[in-house]
Amino acid sequence: MKQLLLASRNPAKIELYKKILKDLDLQILALSDLNMNNEVDENGLTYEENSAKKALEFFKISGLPTLADDSGIEIAALNNEPGVKTRRWPGYEATDQELIDLAINKIKNIPKGQRQARFRVVISLCLGENQIYSSQFDLPGEITDFVSNKLVAGFPFRSVFWVPQFGKHHSDLNQEQLEQIDHRRKAMEKIREIIIQKI
């Protein structure tokens, strides 16, 4: 069976990608499956730079087709902060709760109706040093100053990200609603076709 490496240590993200790709005849491996403790310095200025760099570096180490992503949340009234530094917004690798608290604190003086935000993800698939394919998708919404009762480990901003289409927080969406708007699923549509054709 052909193999695909997911360049992630985020359990929630790994589970999501395995669900998205479950119908393909692939053995999907995470970094932990190969005992890979290497770190990639995600110092790019864009999501695409970071995701492509991560996919290429782990491809070189493993020799396997490698899928990586970089994602974040951008809050318009905060000059699109935190952006590519989403997980390190306070200046260090923050916990889920720290990020939720920081988002609420940052937007507390921004009037309601001016708290537009978007989730952005770029997914990169590396099949060789000169074979990197990337796909992007954005999900628009708003940041709230109240938190959903449902927290999703590894995806803290979902509990303060309001999806107007459904009138609820992202973390409160049911599976059918999630599949309609999930930005990773949308970005994966193009990448899935490349996986089917080329792996």
Q: For residue 171, give the nearest of 190, 149, 143 by alpha carbon.
A: 149
Q: Dihedral sign for Cα 115, 174, 85, 101, please.
A: positive
Cα three-residue angle 94-95-98, rounded to 5 degrees: 80
Determine the Cα–Cα distance for residues 187 and 184; give it in Å rounded to an integer: 5
Q: Give the distance from CA 75 to its chain's centroid.
A: 16
Marked catalytic residue, from 25, 41, 69, 70: 70
The answer to whether residue 70 is catalytic is yes
Catalytic positions are 70
